A and B are shown apart, each in its own frame.
Chain A
Amino acid sequence: MPAPDAAERLLNLLIALTHARVRMTRAEIRATVAGYDPIDDRDDPETARKRTVAFERMFERDKEDLRRLGVPLRTVTDATHGDEIGYVIDAGDATMPPITLSAVERAVVAVAADYWQNAALGTDARRALIKITSSAARVEDETVHLAARSTVGVDAAPALAQAIADGQAVRFTYTSATSGKAERTVEPWRLVVRGGPLYLVGLDRDRGEPRTYRLSRIEGAVTAVGDRGAFVAPSGLAGIHLEAAVPTLTARIGLRAESGHAIRRRGRFLRSEGEWDIYDVSYCDTEYLRDEILGLAGAARVVSPETLAEAVVAHARAALEVAHA
C-alpha cells in the first residue's frame, strides 16, 4: 500500500482521537494510527533515534494543522501512566453547528470568501466557505451583481486571530510614524476592520497601555510568546478611539459655488462674498480639515483660524517645490 498523504493521516488521527475512550499517548498514536511510522524493533539505535525524531516532527506539524483547522486537541495527563501526556478530541466542541442560508445569502458569502484575494486571510476565508456550505443543500447559487476585493496587507491577521482566541501574547516588529521601527509585545484583544485597513487593538506590555496597530505596518512574522490563557481581553473597546471625537473647534471657510459639499453639509452658511460662500464648520482634527481643504484644490480657502490657513499654505508650498524639482 502506498504511503497515505498528509490529509489522509490527519483524517485518521482525527477519527482515532475523537473515538479514544479516555486518551491516546504519543506512543499509542505512533503504533496504531495509519500514516505514522511505527517503531520497528529490528532498527539499530541510530536508525531508531532518527525515526523517532521524524515521528515527533510530523506529529507536531499535524497537531498544528488540526489547531489551525479549529479542532480543539485536549491534553490529558494521567498519573497512573507516569505523567505521560495523552490527547483526545471532544467531538461536541469540534463540530460545526448547522447554518441555514438562503441561496442569495450563500452567493453573498461566496463573494465575501473572495474578498481577501491571495493574501493570507484568503486561504482561511475559502476554507470557511467550504465548512459553511458542507451541510447546505445542493442548489445553484443565485447571481448577485456584486464583487468585493481587498488590497491591503493583512498577512499578520491569521496569527493574531489565533492568539486572540488563545489569550496568548504576541511579539512583532512595528513601524510607527512617530517612533520608527521597534519590537512590540502586545496582549491582543481584537481585530478591527475599518474601511480597507485592519487594525489590532491590544495592551502594549512595554507601555502598559492599550494601543491600536495597523496590520500593514507589522513587518515579518508574528510570534506567540508565553502561555495560552495568560490574559482576558476586555469585552468592550473602552478607551480606544477609532471613532471620530466630538468636534470642539470652529473654522470659517470660503467655498466656491457648487463645491465643498461635504463641508457645506456639516457647516452653517453665513453669507456670500463675491464668488465665495462663507461657512462656519466645527471640527476636532485640524489635520483632517486641512487635508480636506487641500483636496478641494483651490475651491476652498480658510478665512480663520490663522493656524489652519498657514498649515494649508505650508503644505501646498512644500508640494509645489517637489513638483517643480
Chain B
Amino acid sequence: MPEPAVPRLTRLLGIVTQLEEHGEASFDDLARHFGVSREVIKDDIDTLWVSGLPGYGTTDLLDFDGYAYEEGIARLVESLGIRQIRLAPAEAVALMGALGSIVASGVASTAAEGALDALRDAVKGAMAVTVVGASTTDQAAVQALREGIETSRAVVVTYIDARDRRTERVIEPHRLVALDGIGYVECFCRRAGDYRTLRLDRLEGAKETDEPQAAPRRASEGFALEPQYEAEVMIDLAGRWAFEDLPGVELEETPDGVVARFGVANPQVIVARLLAVGPHLKKVGPADLRAQLAEAAEAVLASASIPGKDKA
C-alpha cells in the first residue's frame, strides 16, 4: 500500500523547511532526522524536484543541485517560498494534550513544561484542549528518583500501597512512566526482591543513597504494568463507568448487560472497583478474581458489624 498522502506531504514540506533553515544535508542525515529510510528521502527529493507552479517549465519548479544529488546530498536551489504548515487543530490537541497529560502525571522534568510553553506560543489563537491534573505528586521525591535513574543509585522511598499501608523500601529506579495521566516509577524493589511499578502519587518521600544499583534494567519496551490474568465482568449500564478507563479494556453491550474484558495487573485495584459497583455487578470471572472479591467484601462486612458504634 502506498504511504497516505497527508503524512508524506508533511514530510515533503519538512524537508524543504529543514534545508532552507540549515543548508544542505546528506540523504542519510535527513533520513535520521525524519525517522525514515534513505530510499524514502531519495524518493521525496525526486518528487519535490518535479513539483512547482502551473506551467511546470524549468523555472517554475523546486530545484536542487544535480551534482550534489549524485553525491547523496540534498542542496536546495529554489524553494518557491514553500514552508512547513502550522499545526492543525487536531494535531495541536493531540500533541499538547499528551504533553500536558505527561506534565500532570508528575513524571516530567521542567523540560516538558518548557516544551509545552514553546508550543503554546507557536499555536495561534485559543487552544482547544485543557489539561486538569488528576493526581498530585511530591516533586522533590520525583526529582530524587530522577537522579537515582540518571546516576544508577538506589533510593529509599516511603510508599503507601493500594491497601493504604505505609512502607519504607529501598528501590532501584529505572524509568518514569505516565500511563493514562498517572505517573509511575518502574523499579527493582529490594524489599520484594522483584521488579515493581509504583505510583508516584503514593510516594510520601524519597531520598537518594550512595548505593549503586545492582539489578539489571529490563530491556522490555513495554510497560511493567503487565496483566497477571484476563478478567471478564458483566455489569448493567449504570456500572459501565467503572471499567471505561481501565487500560486496554474492551466493552461489549449485550442484551444481558455490558461485558468488560481487561487485563488485571493489580488485583487490589480491580477488587476496589468491583466493590464500588457492587449493586450493578452481574457476573465476575475468573474464579481467582471472584475469590479475591469475596475476601475483600467479607472483610468490609466484618469491620462494619463491630458493635459499640458511637453516634457522632
CB within 8 Å of B: which residues of A? 4-12, 14-16, 18-19, 32-34, 65, 67-71, 91, 93-102, 104-109, 111-113, 115-116, 121-135, 137-138, 144-153, 157-162, 164-166, 175, 177-178, 180, 190-198, 214, 216-217, 233, 235, 237, 242-243, 250, 252, 254, 258-262, 278, 280, 290-291, 293-305, 309, 312-320, 322-325
Contact = CB atoms under 8 A, between A and B. Distances in A.
Given A7-B5, A16-B54, A112-B98, A261 B304 contact: no
B22 A298 contact: no
B218 interface: no
B14 to A, nearest CB: 4
A195 B304 contact: no
B85 A71 contact: yes
A132 B99 CA distance: 14
B8 A191 contact: no
A121 B97 contact: yes
A294 B178 contact: no
A121 B94 contact: yes
B118 A105 contact: yes
B33 A133 contact: yes
Contacts of B104: 193, 195
Interface string B61-100: 0000000000000000000111111111111111101111
15 contacts: A11-B47, A11-B51, A96-B17, A101-B114, A106-B115, A130-B11, A134-B15, A152-B245, A153-B244, A194-B134, A195-B180, A258-B165, A291-B276, A295-B268, A319-B293
Contacts of A197: 180, 244-245
Interface centre among A196, A198, A242 (most CB of B within 10 A): A196
B33 A315 contact: no
A130 B150 contact: no
B160 to A, nearest CB: 5
Given A115-B102, A198-B97, 20 more contacts: A15-B51, A18-B81, A34-B54, A68-B88, A94-B86, A112-B98, A121-B98, A125-B98, A127-B7, A130-B10, A134-B21, A138-B29, A149-B223, A177-B237, A191-B97, A258-B165, A258-B166, A301-B304, A317-B278, A318-B278
A148 B89 contact: no
Interface residues of B, number: 138
A242 B131 CA distance: 11
B212 interface: no
Contact of A96 (B2, B85, B114): B85
Contacts of A4: 47, 50
A115 B92 CA distance: 14
Contacts of A10: 5-6, 9
Contacts of B293: 319-320, 322-323
B245 A148 contact: no
B140 interface: no
B157 to A, nearest CB: 14
Contacts of A305: 312
Given A7-B5, A122-B94, A320-B301, A314 B129 contact: no
B82 A194 contact: no
Contacts of B237: 175, 177, 180
B17 A135 contact: yes
B30 to A, nearest CB: 8
Nearest to A123: B7
Interface in B107-150: 107-109, 111-112, 114-115, 118-119, 121-122, 125-126, 128-135, 146, 149-150
Interface in B277-312: 278-279, 281-284, 290-291, 293-304, 306, 309-312
A255 B198 CA distance: 23
B248 interface: yes
Contacts of A96: 17, 83-87, 122
Interface centre among B52, B85, B101 (most CB of A within 10 A): B85
Contact of B128 (A9, A99, A190): A190
B173 to A, nearest CB: 8
Given A71-B85, A175-B240, A130 B90 contact: no
A115 B98 contact: yes
B229 interface: no
Nearest to B111: A104
Nearest to B174: A145
A150 B180 contact: yes
A196 B182 contact: yes
B54 A33 contact: yes
Given A12-B51, A191-B128, A315-B279, A300 B303 contact: yes
Given A96-B84, A146-B175, A318-B279, A195 B47 contact: no
Given A71-B85, A96-B87, A191 B223 contact: no
A227 B275 CA distance: 47
B94 A313 contact: no
B137 to A, nearest CB: 13
A135 B245 contact: no
B180 A124 contact: no
A304 B311 contact: yes
Given A124-B88, A195-B134, A298-B303, A319 B278 contact: yes
Given A99-B119, A147-B178, A164 B89 contact: yes
A185 to B, nearest CB: 19
B27 to A, nearest CB: 12
B18 A193 contact: no
Contacts of B8: 5, 7
A109 B99 contact: yes
A301 B293 CA distance: 18
A273 to B, nearest CB: 8
B304 A302 contact: yes
